[in-house]
């Protein structure tokens, strides 16, 4: 018998939603190329159009705003290529923003927020053409003050890119999209498949292509569309829209209950970003004196999947640049784990996580 698992790593990849799975199976069975004029091609085109409408509706934008990509990374890379002037990105941004050549960083305050006054000063004194910020941080869930940021960008004639990859299902996407010139999404963070995403572009802006070739995506993103992935993305976006704020409230209640339990077990714990607005599903929490990798392994053995608050792509664990930017020392940052809930999270998952965390903390105290 398979041991019971409790998956609380939804900011890495959310479980596939049944609606997405069904749409993907249907698209896989139909086949066809949306650029073909015959019946099979037209059926494929209809799948593409439906998905485009579903993603656009979630963002409150017209379908023509949506350009499908191979994921959030491509959408971010593409977004940042829209200016000849410098791109400035909040230092807590995702690596798919920070690693783009020439990107300068904008420091944040110790709570992870961009300070509007600091931003104004930077925009006055440098040749910035675009600012990139996240709607909600993938490690801490911290939500940026987008309205203020957007107003400052408009006043300085600077384009605003919003990496909203972690927003759907946790925040209302339409008010976020309303502030952005360009906005990135990724299907696997909202219950669709990995390897599919979108760049949403404000009506009136004509984005310069990053990937050139055929005429797909209104000649703006070449390459035969990942129809199966896109079908799943659209269906997942549709499901997020249907679940709406009631689901966000459910997840928030679970997250807050979990945090309250962990704080009760260990009053000296630290929840990063706790004193500002955060996405409903994310907790970045420290167990003092216990390395994050030890916590992740102990929880995994107890059937609970979470991740270290540090980046460990390619197996090399480095302290989280997000927590370092928030003023943590390397040791503190190295003791933080990220617990991220999602549409499939139940009371039982949270209970199991709290129990496993408490057991480890009890062992640490006894040692």
The H-or-E segment that residue 284 falls in is strand 282-286
The tokens of 104 are what? 């300068």
Near ligand PLP by CB under 6 A: residue from 113, 153, 165, 248: 165
Torsion over CA: 242, 246, 248, 251 (sign): negative
- 204 torsion bin: left (phi>0), alpha (psi -120 to 50), beta (else): left
Candidates 150-158, 163-171, 222-230, 304-312; binding stretch for ligand PLP (CB under 6 A): 163-171
Cα-Cα-Cα-Cα torsion 54, 169, 197, 316, nearest 10 degrees, comes to -170
Candidates 72-80, 84-92, 242-250, 323-331; binding stretch for ligand PLP (CB under 6 A): 72-80
* Residue 165 or 356 having the CB closest to ligand PLP: 165
Under the binding rule (CB under 6 A), the answer on residue 262 touching ligand PLP is: no
Under the binding rule (CB under 6 A), the answer on residue 281 touching ligand PLP is: no
Residue 312 annotated to the active site: yes
- 213 torsion bin: left (phi>0), alpha (psi -120 to 50), beta (else): left
Residue with the two structure tokens 């962990």: 262
Under the binding rule (CB under 6 A), the answer on residue 169 touching ligand PLP is: no
- Look at strands 307-308 and 128-134 and give their pairing: unpaired
The tokens of 181 are what? 């010139």
**b/e map 115-145, b = 16+ CB within 10 Å:** eeeebeebbeeeebbbbbbbbbbbbbbbbbe
Q: How far is the CB of 217 from ligand PLP (least distance, A)?
A: 17
Under the binding rule (CB under 6 A), the answer on residue 278 touching ligand PLP is: no
Under the binding rule (CB under 6 A), the answer on residue 77 touching ligand PLP is: no
Candidates 71-79, 114-122, 224-232, 318-326; binding stretch for ligand PLP (CB under 6 A): 71-79
Interacting residues with ligand PLP between 174 and 193 (CB under 6 A): 186
DSSP code string of 130-190: EEEEESB-TTT-BBP-HHHHHHHHHHTT-EEEEE-TT-BTTB-HHHHHHH-SEEEEEGGGT
Under the binding rule (CB under 6 A), the answer on residue 335 touching ligand PLP is: no
74 contacts 210 by C-beta, under 8 angstroms: yes
Q: How far is the CB of 94 from ligand PLP (least distance, A)?
A: 4
Under the binding rule (CB under 6 A), the answer on residue 71 touching ligand PLP is: yes
Near ligand PLP by CB under 6 A: residue from 20, 23, 68, 72: 72
- Catalytic pick from 10, 312, 328, 353? 312
Rg (CA), the chain: 21
Backbone angles phi, psi at 68, to 5 degrees: -75, 145
Q: How far is the CB of 214 from ligand PLP (least distance, A)?
A: 22
Residues linked to residue 9 through DSSP beta bridges, in sequence order = 340
Q: How far is the CB of 134 from ligand PLP (least distance, A)?
A: 5
Q: How far is the CB of 42 from ligand PLP (least distance, A)?
A: 29
Residues linked to residue 106 through DSSP beta bridges, in sequence order = 90
Under the binding rule (CB under 6 A), the answer on residue 295 touching ligand PLP is: no
Q: Whose CB is nearest to ligand PLP?
A: 72
Q: How far is the CB of 261 from ligand PLP (least distance, A)?
A: 26
| CA distance linking residue 200 with residue 233, whole number of Å | 14
Near ligand PLP by CB under 6 A: residue from 54, 65, 73, 108: 73
Candidates 57-65, 162-170, 262-270, 304-312; binding stretch for ligand PLP (CB under 6 A): 162-170
Q: How far is the CB of 112 from ligand PLP (least distance, A)?
A: 13
| CA distance linking residue 64 with residue 219, whole number of Å | 12
| CA distance linking residue 303 with residue 292, whole number of Å | 16
Residues in contact with ligand PLP, shown as a per-residue x/- string from 124 to 153 under the rule CB under 6 A:
----------x---x---------------
Task: Show which residues are catalytic.
Answer: 312
Which residues are at the interface with ligand PLP (CB under 6 A)? 71-73, 76, 94, 96, 134, 138, 163, 165-166, 186, 197
């Amino acid at each position: 018998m398979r041991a019971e698992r409790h998956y609380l790593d939804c900011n890495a990849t959310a479980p596939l939603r049944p609606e997405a799975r069904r749409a993907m199976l249907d698209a896989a069975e139909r086949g066809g190329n949306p650029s073909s004029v015959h019946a099979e091609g037209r059926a494929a085109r209809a799948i593409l159009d439906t998905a485009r409408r579903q993603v656009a509706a979630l963002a409150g934008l017209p379908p023509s705003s949506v350009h499908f990509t191979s994921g959030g990374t491509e959408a971010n890379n593409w977004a940042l290529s829209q200016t000849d002037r410098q791109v400035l990105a909040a230092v807590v941004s995702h690596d798919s923003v920070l690693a783009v050549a020439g990107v300068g960083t904008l420091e944040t305050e110790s709570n992870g927020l961009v300070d509007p006054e600091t931003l104004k000063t930077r925009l006055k004194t440098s040749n910035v053409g675009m600012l990139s910020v996240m709607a909600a941080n993938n490690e801490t869930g911290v939500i940026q003050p987008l309205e203020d940021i957007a107003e400052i960008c408009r006043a300085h004639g600077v384009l605003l890119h919003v990496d909203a990859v972690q927003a759907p299902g946790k925040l209302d996407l339409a008010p976020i999209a309303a502030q952005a010139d360009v906005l990135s999404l990724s299907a696997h963070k909202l219950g669709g498949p990995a390897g599919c995403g979108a760049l949403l572009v404000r009506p009136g802006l004509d984005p310069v292509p990053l990937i050139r070739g055929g005429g797909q995506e209104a000649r703006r993103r070449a390459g035969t569309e990942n129809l199966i992935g896109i079908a799943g993305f659209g269906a997942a976006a549709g499901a997020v829209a249907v679940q709406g704020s009631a689901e966000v409230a459910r997840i928030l209640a679970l997250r807050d209950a979990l945090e309250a339990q962990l704080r009760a077990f260990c009053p000296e714990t630290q929840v990063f970003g706790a004193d500002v607005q955060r996405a409903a599903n994310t907790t970045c929490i420290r167990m003092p004196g216990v390395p994050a990798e030890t916590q992740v392994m102990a929880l995994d053995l107890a059937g609970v999947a979470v991740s270290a608050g540090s980046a460990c792509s390619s197996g090399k664990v480095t302290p989280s640049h997000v927590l370092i930017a928030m003023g943590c020392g390397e040791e503190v940052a190295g003791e933080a784990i990220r617990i991220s809930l999602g549409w499939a999270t139940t009371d039982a998952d949270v209970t199991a996580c709290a129990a496993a965390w408490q057991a480890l903390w009890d062992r640490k105290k006894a040692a």
